[in-house]
Amino acid sequence: MSARTSAGRGGTPFLGAPIGSRGVSMATDPLAYLWRPRRCLRRPREPLATALADLHGDGDCKLVVGDLGPTGHEMKLKVYHGMDLLSENVLLDLPTSVAAFLMERHELCVPAVGVAAGPYIYVYKNMRPYFRYALPPLEVNSTEKDVWEQAKEDKVDLLSMKETLEMIRENADRENTEPPLSVQSLRFLALDPPEMESFVNQYKMQPLKRQSLITCMTTLKKSLADEGSISCLVLGTENSDIIILDPEPFSMLVQTKVPSVPAFLDVTGQYDVEYRLIVACRNGCIYILRRNSKRHKYCIELSSQAVGLSWVQKNIVVACSDETLQSFTQKGKKLWVVPLPATPITLSLIDEKFQSFHAVLVALANMEVHIYQDKNLVNIIQTQDVVSSICFGRYGREDNTLVMTTKGGGLIIKILKRTATFDKRDAVVGAPVAQSIKLNVPKKTKLYVDQTLRERESGVAMHRVFQTDLSRIRLMAARAYAQALQCNMTPVSESAQEQLKMNAVVQGMGPTFKLTLNLQNMSDTRAVANLLISFLYDEKLYSIEHPFFKTPMLVPGLNYPLATFVECLSEQGTSDIIKVFVLHEGEPEPLLTAHINMPVSEGLAAV
C-alpha cells in the first residue's frame, strides 16, 4: 500500500522547504547545536523537550526547545523562527518537558510556556520569567532526620552515620512502608570516606527536605475544546503521583497515585466535562484514569517498555522497545500489533484538520520516520540522523509543519503539501508480511487421504445429492409457510382491515396456570371491535375458566392483556397443546391462531 500525492505514486507528501518558501530544498540544519545528555537508564531515552507556540499572539508560531547543552549542564530555553535562533534563556535544571498553554482568557490570546525542570515548573510569558511553581514537599524519614540532628550536634561518628543511612535505604527499598532517603543522604552515601567529613560540615546546618521530580508533563483543556481556551497542566512525578494544576492560581485540582513512576502522559477531553488520562509507567504498564476516579480504571500490561504513546481519536497507540507498534481501546483491549523495522525512539501525533487525517509518526533508530494510519504504513521519511523528538502543528504561517530534532543536535523542518492525500493502504510493495508466516498445519492422516480420494472419485454424485437435499428443504419450508398463512398461525394477522398482533404468556407451576393473551391493534387510525376468543383443548387434561369470551374494542397502539385460568386435570404429569383462535363475529375463519405448549404441572408431579 502506498501514499498517493500530487507528485505521483511513491512521492512523499512532505516538502522539505523552509518556512515561507515554495521550493523543495531540504530545510535541515545539522549544526543547530541542540544537545541532549547521554544517560544510562533502564528505560527508553526521553526525547528533547520541544513545543510549538504562538508566543506573541500574532499567528506566527515559534519553536520552543529545552536545550541541554553539549555537556548536559548548560541548560537553555531556546526559541526558533524558521531556522533562525530568536532568543534563549538560562535554565537552572535539566528540562524534562515543555508545554504551551493559556493561563487566562483575554482578547489577545498569548500563551504561556511551562518548562518542567527538577521539582519546579518555570512559567514564561513573552519569553520572560513570570512564575515558578514548586511541587509540594514530601515526608522525611524520621530516623534519617534524627541522624542529621545528631550530626548537627556532633554526637555521631561518620561510620555509624553511614551504616544507619544504608539500613534506612535497604528497609525503604524492601518494604516500601517508610519514606526513602533524601537527596542529601544519598549524596552522602555516594562519597568516599575522606570526603564525608567536609560534606557533613557543609550541609548539616541546612534543613533536611525531600522533594519529588517532574518526569513528564502535558496539557488538558479546562472547559472548552477550542484552541484559544484555557488549559490545565498535568504532571507526572518521581513519587508516582499524577497532578492536575489550575492554570490561574496554580493550585492543585487533582492528585492521584499510580503503581509506578510515570514516563509518558497523554490526555483527551476537558477537565470540567469528562477526560481520560493514559499514563505509561516504568513498570511496563499503561494505566487509564477517568474524571473523579481515585485510582486507575484499566491497566494494560505491555510486552516491553513504552517509548511513546498517544490518543488517536478513541484508541491508544503506543510504541514499544521490542520494535512493535501496538493499539488498544480505551478499555484496554488490544486491537492490533505492527512490527517495526528498527527500535523506535519517539512517537508523535499527526492531526491534520482539513482532511481529518489522523496518524502517528514513529521515529526509528535506522534514521527513518514512519507514518502509520491505524496499522497501515502510509509514508516513510528518510533523515540524515536519528530523530530524537517530533512536533507536528502550526509553525510560522504554515498549519501543517513537521519539526524534528536529531540526536546529533540537528533541526529538520518539513511542510505537508496542501495537495497531499493519504490512502489507507500500506506503502510496502509486495505481499503483506502475514503471508510469509508459515501456518502450523497438522500432518495428513490416512483417514484424510482416503476421504480426499473418495471426494475426487464421487464428486459429481455428492454434488447432486447435496442439491437434491437442498431442494427438499426449500420445498418443506415453503409448504410450512403456506400452511401457516392459510391457517392464520402467524403472530400478526394478514387481514388488511383487522391488523392484529398476539402473544401468549403462561404463568404458574400447576395444577392451576394463569394464561395471559396480549392482544394489540397494529392499525394507525382504525379501531377494531366485535372480536371473539375461543380455546380448543383436550377436556380430559385441562379445564379453562372462560373458554369463550368477547374482547373489548381495541384502540390502535395499546396492548390489551386478556387473562384466564387453566387447571390441569391429569395426575400423570402430562402436557398438551392449547389452541387459541381470534375470530371476527360472524366470520367462520379465524383472524389469528396460536398454539400454546403448556408446561408440565409440577404440583401434581410432586404429589
Lookup: cell for 446 = 490416512
Q: What is the pLDDT of residue 547?
A: 87
Q: What is the pLDDT of residue 139?
A: 84
Q: Span 500-597: which CATH code?
A: 2.60.40.1230
Lookup: cell for 427 = 506503502
pLDDT of 59 over the 50 cut? yes
For residue 511, cis peptide bond before it (omega within 30 degrees of 0): yes
E strand spans, 146-284: 214-221, 231-237, 241-245, 252-257, 262-270, 274-281
286: helix, strand or coil: strand
116-120, 173-177, 332-336, 341-345: segment of lowest average pLDDT? 173-177
Residues 510, 489 contacting (CB under 8 angstroms)? no
pLDDT tens string 511-537:
889 999 888 888 878 888 888 888 988
Task: Render 130-150 in DSSP notation, one character per residue.
Answer: EEEEEPPPBPPPHHHHHHHHH
Given the C-alpha cell 386478556, which residue does it identify? 562
pLDDT of 38 over the 70 cut? no
pLDDT tens string 341-394:
999 999 998 888 777 788 899 999 999 999 998 888 888 888 888 888 888 888
Percent of the chain with pLDDT over 70: 85
The mean pLDDT of 96-124, rounded to a whole number, is 85
Q: What is the pLDDT of residue 25?
A: 33
**In the chain, which segments carry CATH 2.60.40.1230?**
500-597
41-55, 319-333, 378-392: segment of lowest average pLDDT? 41-55
- Between vectors from CA 600 to CA 595 and to CA 603, what angle results, nearest 5°? 140
Band of residue 5 on the pLDDT scale cut at 50, 70, 90: very low
E strand spans, 330-458: 334-339, 344-352, 357-364, 368-373, 376-382, 387-395, 398-406, 411-416
Task: Render 58-114 in DSSP notation, one character per residue.
Answer: SS-BEEEEEE--SSS---EEEEEETTEEEEEEE-SS-EEEEEEE--S--SS---EEE
Q: What is the pLDDT of residue 41?
A: 29
Q: What is the pLDDT of residue 433?
A: 56
Q: What is the pLDDT of residue 3?
A: 37
pLDDT of 6 over the 80 cut? no
Q: What is the pLDDT of residue 464?
A: 92
108-112, 374-378, 468-472: segment of lowest average pLDDT? 108-112
Burial (0-12, 13-18, 19+ Cβ within 10 Å), 368: middle
The mean pLDDT of 472-493, rounded to a whole number, is 77
Q: What is the pLDDT of residue 397?
A: 81
Given the C-alpha cell 543536535, which residue does it identify? 409
The mean pLDDT of 279-305, rounded to a whole number, is 88
pLDDT of 124 over the 60 cut? yes
Q: What is the pLDDT of residue 425?
A: 54
Single pTM value for the model = 0.62
pLDDT of 23 over the 50 cut? no
The mean pLDDT of 150-156, rounded to a whole number, is 82
Q: What is the pLDDT of residue 502?
A: 85
How many other C-beta atoms are found inside a 10 Å radius of the C-beta of residue 467? 10
Q: One-letter amino acid identity for 266?
A: D
User: How remote is the C-alpha of 482 from its chain's centroid?
Assistant: 53
Band of residue 606 on the pLDDT scale cut at 50, 70, 90: very low
Measured CA to CA, the distance from residue 409 to residue 401 in angstroms comes to: 19
Q: What is the pLDDT of residue 326?
A: 92
Across the strands, what pairs with 518?
A: 503, 561
Percent of the chain with pLDDT over 90: 15
Band of residue 470 on the pLDDT scale cut at 50, 70, 90: very high
* Residue from 118, 130, 20, 131 nearest 66 by CA: 118
pLDDT tens string 531-557:
888 898 888 888 988 888 888 888 888
pLDDT of 398 over the 60 cut? yes
Torsion of CA 455, 461, 462, 467, to 10 degrees: 150
pLDDT of 60 over the 50 cut? yes
The mean pLDDT of 139-148, rounded to a whole number, is 84
The mean pLDDT of 300-314, rounded to a whole number, is 89
pLDDT of 31 over the 60 cut? no
Mean pLDDT in the chain? Answer: 81
Q: What is the pLDDT of residue 466?
A: 92
Band of residue 18 on the pLDDT scale cut at 50, 70, 90: very low
Q: What is the pLDDT of residue 475?
A: 93
User: How remote is the C-alpha of 360 from its chain's centroid?
Assistant: 14
| Those residues with Cβ within 8 angstroms of residue 96's Cβ, 6 or more apart along the chain or in another chain | 46, 49, 66, 116, 117, 213, 214, 215, 216, 217
Lookup: cell for 422 = 493519504
Across the strands, what pairs with 534?
A: 548, 581
pLDDT tens string 205-238:
888 888 888 999 999 998 888 877 889 999 999 8
Residues 599, 575 contacting (CB under 8 angstroms)? yes
Q: What is the pLDDT of residue 1?
A: 36
